[in-house]
Amino acid sequence: MLRLTEITYAVEGRPLFEAASATIPTGHKVGLVGANGAGKTTLFRLIRGELALESGEITLPRNARIGGVAQEAPASSVSLIDTVLAADEERAALLAEAVHATDPLRIAEIQHRLTDIDAWSAEARAAAILSGLGFDAEAQARPCSDFSGGWRMRVALAGVLFAQPDLLLLDEPTNYLDLEGALWLESYLARYPHTVIVISHDRGLLNRAVGAILHLENRKLTLWSGGYDAFARARAERAAVQAAEARKQAARRAHLQSFVDRFRYKASKAVQAQSRLKMLEKMTPILAPDAARRVAFAFPAPEQLSPPIITMEGAAVGYGGDPVLRRLTLRIDQDDRIALLGRNGEGKSTLSKLLAGKLQPDTGRITRSSKLRIGYFAQHQVDELVIGETPLQHLQRMRRDEAPAKLRARLAGFGLGADQAETEVGRLSGGQKARLSLLLATLDAPHLLILDEPTNHLDIESREALVEALTEYAGAVVLVSHDMHLLGLVADRLWLVKDAGVSAYAGDLDQYRQELLSGEERAPAQTRAPTGDQTGAAGKPRAERPSREAVLALRAEVRRCEERIEKLARMREKLSARLADPMLYDEARVAELEGWNRKFVELEEAEVKAEALWLGAQERLEAAERG
């Protein structure tokens, strides 16, 4: 097992760990979580022995092998499959020795050991891992130098997974994976035969791939059983108890202090006052837990445009050769929330660039509303920020006429405070850079926001804030993301990019996940989101499918039902507060109490009816969207 005993470590005088302890049993899968900058990556370096503890001890089983992804695979002429095979250093060394060995006993030892480590199936295992991470058989035979840095990071990950170290340390492994690769990794880690500790802000991975959460907070480590959702619930319950205890102690301290202040100088009460003063001194303060860091994204609201804001008719797009996507007949309205699904390389990013105007169609037609403004965020844009400039300087270049105070307010609306506003981008964290890029993408209040992997480097609190902002956003959203939690909460339409086309996906995200894990996607809906075909789902004539206007009307009905439910919930809160007033139960106010109780019963009946109306509207909308 891995045992951390009373470890203490500081960076530049700032303590990250103070007498922190934790024990992780062998074979456990653990998610390491904590605020950005708390010291999660530093803990990995301490475990690997790259940094020296100030005090305390880290113990591992004897001869335990530790593995992780420190950097991308080199851009060499070695093929991907051979690069991964070489990651198992023992196997590579034994095979090399077997070529030149002449001692019969040593040859026998080598062969026995190669059998023990299952060396003869190594190539098949390596190929399966590479395939899961998005490399087909043709790509596996190509040299590493053919691939960009992000792809070589996948190769490095494949290598460490193939080597199967006794302790696997992974730091944000899904940051350079697409949805399919992230789902595959979840499944692989859940079956991994040894101990795993993974730093991640991906709730799906932390719920499905690990069985415990190691929480780093206030320089201490706490191990919680269960996935992230169970951890969040248990932590909230503990925080509520701690807050209640803090309030009780504060009241008790105030009472004691009041007595001391009143009587400490009166001879008749001096002894009692001194006794209470000693009680105050001996009380160990119970601190209320810090409120969860409130993070937010303040997206500016665009004006409404008449639908549609984008249409495509028979469009094809590529990069100078054969089209990557063809026969695209699509429509987007300002209230759309669309998630793009599809395996890596099918064209999701290409479609995003076409919608954003970064690419022009080779054939066909794309029509945009004359007043349409588009915001585009892609992960590579984070790397294109000017590292020598501050966030404030980035905004000043784009808003030369705006006062610095207003620009600072814009930065604050994306969680970049006064300190970060004047800090060079090169010194900001990955999450802070991503926030700045999101701010720049939404600066002009776009009617259509295209987000290609927006959650990379964002912590869980920031991801939840992004969900809230996108839910309230008054423009259309097109999402490409490996974060299924984000997709599930934001998207109400799913488009499958496959076989050079774009189709409305007939299932939901849970079905898509299961089909990806089983190796077979669901058959796309016959209606191509929409296409120019003359038949719809199940071969219905186009005339029988609900019109776009009918779908929009149903969506509006659903929203009205949701608003009604929210209004009734607010009324319930007010009535509950009224009925909780002790003065209302005075005998002289019996008639008034009966009136409030009748209103509460009427409210409950109204809530039941409102929920039934909402369910009916939601079912009609889902049926209409299925065609």
Q: Is residue 572 pLDDT above 50, yes or no?
A: yes
CATH number of 340's domain:
3.40.50.300
Considering the domain boundaries, does residue 37 fall inside one? yes
Average pLDDT over residues 126-130: 92
pLDDT class of 264 with cuts at 50, 70, 90: low
Check whether residue 213 and residue 351 sit in a common domain: no
Q: Is residue 269 pLDDT above 70, yes or no?
A: no
Q: What is the pLDDT of residue 169?
A: 95
Q: What tokens appear for 265 in the block?
A: 């100088």
Average pLDDT over residues 483-495: 89
Q: What is the pLDDT of residue 271?
A: 65
Check whether residue 153 and residue 236 sit in a common domain: no
Check whether residue 480 and residue 580 sit in a common domain: no
Residue ending a domain, choose from 486, 509, 542 = 542
On whether the CB atoms of residues 7 and 58 are closer than 8 A, the answer is yes
Task: Report CA Rg, the chain.
Answer: 30
Considering the domain boundaries, does residue 364 fall inside one? yes
pLDDT tens digit sequence for 132-149: 888 888 999 999 888 877
Which structural domain, as residue segments, surrounds residue 315?
310-373+444-542
Check whether residue 218 and residue 146 sit in a common domain: yes
Check whether residue 450 and residue 599 sit in a common domain: no
pLDDT tens digit sequence for 431-466: 888 889 999 999 999 999 999 989 888 888 888 889
- Counted domains in the chain: 4
Dist CA 302 CA 330 (whole Å): 22
Check whether residue 269 and residue 353 sit in a common domain: no
Angle between helices 149-163 and 179-191 (to 10 degrees): 10
Burial of 8 (0-12, 13-18, 19+ CB in 10 A): middle
Dist CA 32 CA 525 (whole Å): 40
Which one, of 262, 185, 214, lies nearest residue 484 by Cα? Answer: 185
Q: What's the residue count for the chain?
A: 627
Buried b (16+ CB within 10 A) or exposed e, 12-48: eeeebbbebbbebeeebbbbbbbebebbbebbbbbbe
pLDDT class of 391 with cuts at 50, 70, 90: very high
Higher-confidence residue: 280 or 137?
A: 137
Check whether residue 129 and residue 164 sit in a common domain: yes
pLDDT tens digit sequence for 316-346: 999 988 899 999 999 999 989 999 998 877 8
Higher-confidence residue: 272 or 525?
A: 272
Check whether residue 516 and residue 613 sit in a common domain: no
Dist CA 432 CA 425 (whole Å): 9
Check whether residue 214 and residue 89 sit in a common domain: yes
Q: Which residue has the tokens 């090169």?
A: 426
pLDDT tens digit sequence for 298-309: 889 999 998 899
On whether the CB atoms of residues 489 and 337 are closer than 8 A, the answer is no
Dist CA 144 CA 137 (whole Å): 14
Torsion of CA 521, 526, 528, 529, to 10 degrees: -90
Q: What are phi and psi of 85, to 5 degrees?
A: -60, -35
Considering the domain boundaries, does residue 424 fall inside one? no
Q: Which residues pair with 215 in a beta bridge?
A: 33, 222
Average pLDDT over residues 290-296: 54
* DSSP structure string for 160-176: HHHH--SEEEEESGGGG
